Amino acid sequence: MKLHGNAEIISLYMDGRLDEKLRASLESHLKDCGECREILARMQETRTLIAGAAPVKPPATLERDIIAGLPERKTFSLFFRRIYLPAIGTLAVMVIASLLIREYLPREIELQIAKTPVREQDIADKDINESGRKKIETQTDFHVAEKSKESPVHSESSGPPQAPEGKTVPADRPIAEIGREEKCIMPAEEKREAEKTMIARESAAGKPAAVMKASKDEAISLAYRKTAFSPIVIRSEDEWKKIWHTQNTMQNLSLPLPEVDFREKMVVAVPSRIEDREYLVVNTVEKADKIVVEYRELPLQQPAPAPYQMNVVNRKPAVELQKID
């Protein structure tokens, strides 16, 4: 280490902070070096002069003023600082985060969430079973309880539900209204089960409610209609968007929404598959007061067809299903 002219070493030497070896080296150097001796002397004199400055007397009232100015300690200050404020802060962050997620969640992620993975279904089904409720089978899409195996409506049927042949669905009401009417047919217990299943699934998936594109009521009505194999009549843009979104989501697609003039037209959507049977729409006939959808019943096909077969038709007050052989 360079000793000559090294003010730091000399300063440390002055304060007795050098180890034995370095101190000996410096003392040896100082004997021969007048310049370093001069630095040391100046530093020592400076310290003496500074240290000799007389202490200044503080104002006579300072002590009293300080004591008088001390704040009264509050007993809750520790609680306030350690628990209350952090709790409020955490809550605020959570609220802001949830708002941001709802606002900015990308559509791709939203679609992924909308598709319920099998594991989540299992969790939801397990929850239902544990609570002594009936297990409700579902499709892997849309969080919809598709069919209740023990449903009183179909309990006598060992196979899938049969299409209500010749049943006429009035087409002069929107999808939501049809859903409500169908729900009236649905037994109260089954309805409760379907609602519980929905809630359990949403909870298991940790999915924000806003992500659901259809409300619970609509989902339940959709489920019932699919169970009963009846057509869905779409008469407005909003309903059209919902079912198109469902169709795309279930097929992992994001096709643009086809334009339909709902002032003159309506869309008839027929489910393609109910359990182990498929339904193929063969023909759609427009009559004076109704639309007749002719379909054929088939065994399961591979690959699975699109969830709904949709046709744009002129507005009519009713839609009828007709099975052909």
Residues forming contacts to other proteins in the complex (CB under 8 A) are: 7-8, 10-12, 15, 17, 39, 42-43, 45-47, 49-59, 62-63, 65-67, 69-71, 73, 78
Distance of closest approach, residue 91 Cβ to other proteins, in angstroms: 25
Residue placing its CB nearer to other proteins in the complex, 37 or 180: 37
CB of 52 to other proteins, least distance (A): 7
- DSSP structure string for 48-103: HHHHTSPPPPPPTTHHHHHHHHSPPPPTTHHHIIIIIHHHHHHHHHHHHHHHHHHH
Closest to other proteins by CB, 82 vs 192, is 82
Instruction: Measure the CA–CA gap between 45 and 37, rounded to whole angstroms.
Output: 12
Nearer to other proteins, 5 or 89 (CB): 5
Minimum CB distance to other proteins smaller for 16 or for 256 = 16
Both tokens of residue 210? 């806003």
- Beta carbon of residue 57, minimum distance to other proteins (angstroms, whole number): 7
Contacts of 22 (CB under 8 A, 6+ apart): 1, 9
The CA distance from 62 to 11, in Å, is 37
In which residue are the tokens 């594991």 written? 119
292 Cβ contact partners less than 8 Å away, ≥ 6 residues apart: 284, 285, 319, 320, 321, 322
State the nearest-atom distance from the C-beta of 254 to other proteins, in Å: 56
List 273's β-bridge partners, or say none.
278
**Which of 10, 234 has the CB closer to other proteins?**
10
Distance of CA 153 to the CA centre of its chain: 35
Q: Least distance to other proteins from the beta carbon of 7, Å?
A: 4
Residue with smaller CB distance to other proteins, 73 or 263: 73
Count of other CB atoms within 10 angstroms of residue 4: 11
Computed over its alpha carbons, how large is the radius of gyration of the chain?
A: 41
User: Least separation, in Å, of the C-beta of 87 and other proteins?
Assistant: 20
